[in-house]
A and B are shown apart, each in its own frame.
Chain A
Amino acid sequence: MTDSKAFAGMMVAQPAERGKVRRLLSRLGPGNPAAFPWVLMAPTLIVLFAFGIYPFLNALYIAGQNIILSRPHAPRFFVGLYQYQSVIQDPEFWHALGVTVWFTVQAVFLEFWLGLGLALLFRRITVGAGILRTFILIPMILPPLVAALIWRYMFYPGGGLVTYYAGWITRALGFGEIPFLSDPTVAFHTLVFVDVWEWTPFMFLMMTAGLAQLPRQPYEAAEIDGASAWRIFWTITLPLLKPAILIAVVIRTMDAFRTYELIVVMTRGGPGNATTTLNVYLTKVGLEFFDASKAAAISLIMMMIIIVMSLIFIRAMRMRSQSAA
C-alpha cells in the first residue's frame, strides 16, 4: 500500500520534473545562442582549467612562497619575487639555460635537415618505400626512456656495442678510446646524436606530409623554364613548405627544450654539469632538494622562454613569407 502511494507520488511529480528539465534546456540549449556555445565548450574548458590554468595559477602561487616539501613544518609565507631573483642569480641556472639552448639548436637543426632530406629522397624511391618508411619511424615509436636505455647500454664504457667497436677502431688507428659520456664536449654531442636519431623520423613524417600537399603547377612551370633542381628546391619547395616547417620546428623546439629522460638516463647531467639542461636542473631542485617554490619559479621562467622563442620563430617565418611574397 505504502509502495503504491509512493509510486503514485512519483507519477505526480514527474511532469513537474520534466518542466524543470525543459526550462533548463531552453536556457542552455540551442534556443539560447548566448549560452549554448559555452555549454558545448564546457567539457573542454573544464579540462583546460583542471590541467592547464589551475596548475599554472598554482605554480604562480607556489613560486611566491617559500615551500620546501621536505620541511612541511617550516613556516610558509609570501616572499614576492624572491624565488625568481634567486633563480636569476644562480649561476647554475644560466649554465643550464646555455646548455639547453645549444642542445635545442643543434638537435632541431640537424633533425630538420635530415628529416627534409629523407622526405625528398623518399619521393624518388618507388620500390620498398613502405617498408623503409616503417623502419625509419621505429625510433620515434619507442618511448624516450626505452630509447635512452638502449643507447646507454650501447655507449656503456668498455662493453657497449658502440664503445667496443669504436674503441677497437680507434685503438687500431693508434688513438685511445673515445670518451663518449665522460668528456664534456663529446658527451654533449653524444646526447645530440641520440636525440637526432630518435626525432629525425618525426621531421621526416611532417615533411613527407607537407611535400604531399604541394601543388604540381609551380614545378611544371619551373621545369618548362629549365630551372635546376637546386633552384626549384630553394625557390619553390622550401617556401611552399613553410607552414609544415613552422609547425614541425616549433613542436620539436619545445620538445627538445624539455628533453629529460635521455639526459637523466645517459649522463644524469654530467660529467660535471656539462649536460645539465634546464629540465635536469629543475628536477634536481624540485625532486632532490624538494624546494618546490624555487622549482615552480624555474618552471615558469622556462615556460616564458619557450613562449618567447616560439613567438620569435613564428614572427620570423611570417616576415620571410611576406618578404618572399
Chain B
Amino acid sequence: MGGRISIGLTAALIMTVSAPAIVHAQTEAQKALAGTEIRFLQPAMPQFAAIGRFIPEFEQKYGIKVTVDEIPFDQYRQRSLVEMQQRTGAYDIYAVDVMWLAEYATAGFLEPLMQYVKNGDLTDPGYDIDDFLPRAISGTGVWDDVLYTIPLGAGPVGVTLRRDVAEEAGVALPPRFDPSFTTDFMYETAKKVHNPEAGMMGFAQMPGRWFWGITYLPYLYAFQTPETVGNEYVDKDWKITINNERTIDSIEYFVSFRDFMPADSANWGIDEATAMYQAGRAFGLWNYQDFIKGFFEDPEAHPEIVGKNAHLHTPAGPHGMIDPWYGAWSFGLSVDSSNKEAAWTFIQWMTSKEIQERATEFGAGPSRHSTYKSETLAKHQPWWVDVYDFMLKTTNPDERIRVPEWAEISDIMGEEGNRVWIGEIDAATAAANMERRMTEVMRRAGYYIPGRTDLPPQHWRDMSYYDRLPSEWK
C-alpha cells in the first residue's frame, strides 16, 4: 500500500514538475518550422517595447527568426496599408489598431485566425481562447463575425493627473470611475493648479489636427445624454448626426483648456504633451491604459513623477456619461504571408497566458481574465485591476464606429476642431462643417444608395453581440 502511495506521489511530483514542459512542448508541426524567418511591422509604443523583450526567448525556443520593423505611431497606418495593398507579403505579421480593423478586414488584407486557434498542431493545448475577455476579442479582432486579430492588451482611455500637485492646491482627487470626477471638476482643478510662473500648466491637451480622433472623443461622449448615446456620429440609417449642441459643447469644453497651454501649442500631439507632463510641467494629460507604465510609472525613465500620479477614467459629462471606449493593439496575420504557420506560432506564443502575464512586468497590458487576475499584474501595474470590471461590463468597443471610412471621418474632425482651437472658426461652424464633409464621405462610400442591403450592421446598439465567448467566432 505504502509502495503504491509512494509511486503515486512520485508520479504526481513528476507531473507537477514537468507540467510547464508539457504545456509548452512543441508539436512536430512546430518543430518543422525551425529555420523560418518572419517579419513583423509594429509602431513605436511602450507595449511593443515590453513584448519585444521576449522575442529572443521565442527565437531560441522555436528556431524561428523574427525581424521587427518599428516606425512612429503617427506614420504606422499609412505604412502598413501601403505594404498590405502591394500584396507582396513583405510582412507576415502586422500590429493592428482597433480602429483600423474594419479597413484592413474588408480589404481582405488579414487572414482569419480561428482555423489556427483550433489547429492542435500549431496551437498549444493550454492556449484557451476563451480566457480572453469577450469584448477585448470581439472589439479588437472580430469583423463581420470573423476573428482576424488577437489583442495584445486592451484598456480604456483616461486621464493622468498629478496627485501631489492637486493636494498642494487643496484638491482631493476622487478614485477611478467615481461619478464626482466630472468635466467641471477637471477644468476647475486645472484652473486652480495652473501656475505658468512656476512652470506648471493646468493641463496638456493634444489639439494637433491628427490627434482629435483620439483625445477629443472622450469629451464628445461625456457631453451625450442617455438618449443620444449611439447616435454620436450616425443614426440608424447612417445619416451623419454630429451637428448638434452636444458636439458644440464638447468642442468648446476641449478648447477651453487652451487657457492653460502655451501660445505655440496648436499642433501638439502625444509627443509634445507627454514630454511636458513627464518633465513635471503639466498637471494633467490624456492617457491610454497601456501607456501608464511606460510613460508615467517607470522609475528609471521618469523618476520625477513616479508614484505621484492618479490614473483616472476620462471625466463624466453634465449628464453623467463617460466614454465607454477602449483602445487596443493586436496581432494580425497577413493574408499574403508565405510563413503563416510560423507567424501564427509567434502570435499564439506572444498572446499565451504565460507571456501575457510575464510581459505585464515590463508594461504590457492584459487582455485575458487570467492576466487581469494575476499577482504579477497586481504587483507591477496595480492600476489595471480597477478597470477589469469596466472592460467586462461597461466598455463599448464600437463606440468610435468601426467602419472603413473612419480615417477620413477622424481627419475631418481633427481639421475642423483644430481650426476652432486656433480661433479661425467657432465650434458651431466646426460642427456644421463636420456634418457636411462627413456626409460627403459617406455618400462617396455608397452608404446612401437607395435599396442597398449590404451596409455594415451597427453592433453598438446591441451589446450582447460583443459578449459572445471568443471561441464562438468564425
Q: Is the CB of A287 within 8 A of B78?
A: yes
Q: Is the CB of B404 within 8 A of A269?
A: no
Within B395-420, the residues touching A (CB, 8 Å) are: 404, 407-408, 411, 415, 418-419
Q: Is the CB of A272 within 8 A of B267?
A: no
> Is A310 interfacial (CB 8 A cutoff)?
no
Residue of B nearest to A287 (CB): B78
Within 8 Å CB of B422, what residues of A? 182-184, 271-272, 274
Given contacts A270-B209, A287-B82, whether A182 and B107 have CB atoms under 8 Å apart is no
Residue of A nearest to B419 (CB): A272
Residue of A nearest to B415 (CB): A273
A154-188, CB under 8 A of B: which get 1 and which 0?
Answer: 00111000010000000000001111111110000
Given contacts A268-B208, A269-B209, A272-B415, whether A71 and B404 have CB atoms under 8 Å apart is yes
Within 8 Å CB of A290, what residues of B? 81, 85
Within 8 Å CB of B208, what residues of A? 268, 270
> Is A299 interfacial (CB 8 A cutoff)?
no
Within B107-136, the residues touching A (CB, 8 Å) are: 107-108
A253-279, CB under 8 A of B: which get 1 and which 0?
Answer: 000000000000001111111100000
Q: Is the CB of A288 within 8 A of B78?
A: yes
Q: Is the CB of A272 within 8 A of B264?
A: no
Within 8 Å CB of B210, what residues of A? 268
> Is B263 interfacial (CB 8 A cutoff)?
yes
Given contacts A273-B415, A289-B407, whether A163 and B264 have CB atoms under 8 Å apart is yes
Within B192-228, the residues touching A (CB, 8 Å) are: 208-210
Given contacts A269-B209, A288-B77, A289-B407, whether A180 and B419 have CB atoms under 8 Å apart is no
A228 to chain B, nearest CB (A): 46
> Is B268 interfacial (CB 8 A cutoff)?
yes
Q: Is the CB of B267 within 8 A of A268?
A: yes
CA distance A71 to B84 in the complex (A): 11
Q: Is the CB of A182 within 8 A of B263?
A: yes
CA distance A163 to B265 in the complex (A): 12
Within 8 Å CB of B276, what residues of A? 158
Within 8 Å CB of B252, what residues of A? none
> Is B2 interfacial (CB 8 A cutoff)?
no
A38-63, CB under 8 A of B: which get 1 and which 0?
Answer: 00000000000000000000000000
A156 to chain B, nearest CB (A): 8
CA distance A288 to B82 in the complex (A): 9
CA distance A284 to B108 in the complex (A): 22
B365-389, CB under 8 A of A: which get 1 and which 0?
Answer: 0000000000000000000000000
Given contacts A157-B262, A177-B262, A184-B424, whether A69 and B267 have CB atoms under 8 Å apart is no
Within A286-324, the residues touching B (CB, 8 Å) are: 287-290
Within 8 Å CB of B268, what residues of A? 157
Within 8 Å CB of B424, what residues of A? 184, 272, 274
> Is B354 interfacial (CB 8 A cutoff)?
no
Residue of B nearest to A155 (CB): B264
Interface residues on B, range: 20 to 34
> Is A226 interfacial (CB 8 A cutoff)?
no
Q: B267's contact among A72, A73, A270, A287, by CB below 8 Å, is which?
A: A270
Point out which of A163, A178, A180, A183 has the most chain B C-beta atoms below 10 A from its C-beta: A183
Q: Is the CB of A158 within 8 A of B264?
A: yes
Q: B418's contact among A69, A158, A179, A271, by CB below 8 Å, is which?
A: A271
Q: Is the CB of B263 within 8 A of A176?
A: yes
> Is B106 interfacial (CB 8 A cutoff)?
yes
> Is A70 interfacial (CB 8 A cutoff)?
yes
CA distance A302 to B422 in the complex (A): 29
> Is B266 interfacial (CB 8 A cutoff)?
yes
> Is B421 interfacial (CB 8 A cutoff)?
yes
Within 8 Å CB of A176, what residues of B? 263
Q: B411's contact among A157, A178, A182, A288, by CB below 8 Å, is which?
A: A288
Within 8 Å CB of A179, what residues of B? 263-264, 266
CA distance A157 to B421 in the complex (A): 16
Q: Is the CB of A267 within 8 A of B267?
A: yes
Q: Is the CB of B209 within 8 A of A271?
A: yes
Within 8 Å CB of A158, what residues of B? 262, 264, 276
Residue of A nearest to B420 (CB): A272
Within 8 Å CB of B107, what residues of A? 70-73
Given contacts A70-B81, A288-B407, A289-B408, whether A273 and B266 have CB atoms under 8 Å apart is no
Within 8 Å CB of B267, what residues of A? 181-182, 267-268, 270-271
A152 to chain B, nearest CB (A): 10
A110 to chain B, nearest CB (A): 23
Within 8 Å CB of B418, what residues of A? 270-272
CA distance A88 to B209 in the complex (A): 24
Within 8 Å CB of A69, what residues of B? 81, 85
Within B408-442, the residues touching A (CB, 8 Å) are: 408, 411, 415, 418-419, 421-422, 424
Q: Is the CB of A72 within 8 A of B108?
A: yes
CA distance A264 to B286 in the complex (A): 24
> Is B272 interfacial (CB 8 A cutoff)?
yes
CA distance A183 to B103 in the complex (A): 34
Q: Is the CB of A182 within 8 A of B266?
A: yes
Given contacts A72-B108, A182-B422, whether A271 and B266 have CB atoms under 8 Å apart is yes
A10 to chain B, nearest CB (A): 42
Q: B264's contact among A177, A269, A289, by CB below 8 Å, is which?
A: A177
Within 8 Å CB of B265, what residues of A? 157, 182
A296 to chain B, nearest CB (A): 15
Q: A73's contact among B78, B103, B108, by CB below 8 Å, is which?
A: B108
Q: List 19 A-B contacts (CB under 8 A).
A: A71-B404, A156-B272, A157-B265, A158-B262, A176-B263, A177-B263, A179-B266, A182-B263, A182-B265, A182-B422, A268-B208, A270-B208, A271-B419, A271-B422, A272-B415, A272-B418, A287-B78, A290-B81, A290-B85
3 closest Cβ contacts across the A-B interface? A182-B266, A272-B419, A271-B266
Other than A270-B267, A273-B209, A288-B411, give 18 A-B pairs with Cβ distance below 8 A.
Answer: A71-B107, A72-B85, A73-B106, A157-B262, A157-B265, A177-B262, A179-B266, A182-B267, A270-B208, A270-B209, A271-B419, A271-B421, A271-B422, A274-B422, A274-B424, A284-B411, A288-B77, A288-B78
